[in-house]
Amino acid sequence: MSQEKTRLVIKSGNIFDSVNGILKENQTIIIQGKRILWCDEDDAFEKDLNDKIIDVNGKTIIPGMIDCHVHLENTAEPDYERKYLRTTKTMWHYYALQNAQKHLINGYTCIRDCGSLPEWGPSLRRIFDIGALAGPRILIANLPITQWGNQEEIGPVEVIEYYGKLSEVKAGIDGIRHAVRDRKRSGSDFIKTVTTGGVLHGITSKVDTSLFLNEELLAMTEEAHRLEMHVASHAHGREGIYKAVQANVDTIEHGTLIDEEIIDLMIKKQTFLIPTQAACFGISKPDILKQLPPEVATKIKQIQEQMISNHKIAFEKGVLFAIGTDAGTPGNPHGTTTNEIINMIENVGMTTSQALQAATIQGAKAIKMEEQIGSIEKDKLADLVVCNGNPIEEISILKDPKNLLYVIKDGKIMAKKGKITYFN
């Protein structure tokens, strides 16, 4: 019997039904190949002679979780800029591999990389997709489409020229359309753009500056959607969030200075908010902040004061939320995404069940993959996590990978109790 025909049976566990936000007891899942062949009450399970059965009685099975915003090549160290100058570029590829596996062993079977060098992203995605190495499924943006002129470039002229050539986007509708097609050509799954400055983007980059014209943003989303890519926009300040939502981007990243008018528009357009509070808290840690350039402290103060209350209002009014960490930014290491689930419970007012939905089915919807992943249902890809105890009652269980007995992706057991066990 070939391995494809052997069924993997996860028997008699309690499943978190992410669509309805409830726990269903005594359920069995049959996996064949990459997909869920059958999933129902344990009593109705019919055994096949060659089944490989794992009894998970008393354990909880949750859908593989999704982090919608990471930067795999970034290591979360505060001296990352110096490291770029003192490390061979190939090292970043291996950091990306290591960081992706950190997400996997912590139960995150899908991650969306929101901007990186195109040299490694599509290759790493494929290595994981074909099962050559253990890793999560990755959605790749490659280089973001940035606001050209948002920041003064400081550094050795060779570095400025290198990044200039790599990331230049010509102004105007044609320039934007070309940039979108260029990302498609280099293997992007989606477009990452920025419609405001950023905290780490340099001295002159202001979090409330928005440079793109409305017509440019509309051209970007129109072209991306036509090429079956969604659009994620980094946006802190009001104007940049508003312009992005109005131009039909699919997800707003950060959304720190969101207001009621934008909230109403996001609800109307069903735009997702990926709050990435973990990034803000990571940078704010005193031992991290003191190692970063001085303007970062000023900017983080500007956004942090209002971030929590703004996100809370957005959630209470009905904006769609998904989990994303911005992992890789200083003080915000890969593999700690569950802290962001806890941020949503403590700071935004989600119930544990709602926060787990944000990390599963809502994440899948945000990245347009809800027909494939995000819930444990017949015909979906078999991405799931078997854990000790009941995370709905005690979410902190998920923080310790030793509690994750099996992390399964594409129907293959990839990790057990925090260790990779899959080797092709």
Rule CB under 5 A: which residues touch Zn ion? Answer: 114, 326
Rounded-to-5 percentages of helix, strand, coil across the chain: 40, 20, 40
SS3 label, residue 45: coil
Q: CB nearer to Zn ion: give 67 or 326.
A: 326
Q: CB nearer to Zn ion: give 116 or 271.
A: 116
| Bridge partner residues of 13 (DSSP) | 27
Least distance (Å) between residue 326 CB and Zn ion: 4
Q: CB nearer to Zn ion: give 114 or 395.
A: 114
Phi-psi region of 106 (alpha: psi -120 to 50; beta: other; left: phi over 0): alpha
Angle (CA) 347-196-262 rounded to 5° is: 55
Question: Helix axis angle, 121-129 relative to 89-105, nearest 10°?
Answer: 40
Least distance (Å) between residue 47 CB and Zn ion: 47
Q: CB nearer to Zn ion: give 114 or 280.
A: 114
Q: CB nearer to Zn ion: give 65 or 280.
A: 280
Q: Going by C-beta distance under 8 Å and a sequence separation of 6 or more, which residues neighbour residue 223?
A: 176, 177, 180, 181
Residue 137: closest CA among 383, 376, 339: 383
Least distance (Å) between residue 401 CB and Zn ion: 24
Least distance (Å) between residue 225 CB and Zn ion: 22
Contact 244, 224 (CB under 8 A): no
Contact 100, 72 (CB under 8 A): yes
Q: CB nearer to Zn ion: give 295 or 377.
A: 295
Q: CB nearer to Zn ion: give 73 or 216.
A: 73
Q: Which helix (H) or strand (E) holds 55?
A: strand 52-55
| Strands of the 251-254 sheet, one edge to the other | 190-194, 230-235, 251-254, 272-274, 320-321
Least distance (Å) between residue 254 CB and Zn ion: 8
Contact 258, 243 (CB under 8 A): no
> In this structure, what DSSP letter does residue 318 have?
T
Nearest residue to Zn ion, scored by beta-carbon proximity: 326
Q: CB nearer to Zn ion: give 232 or 405.
A: 232
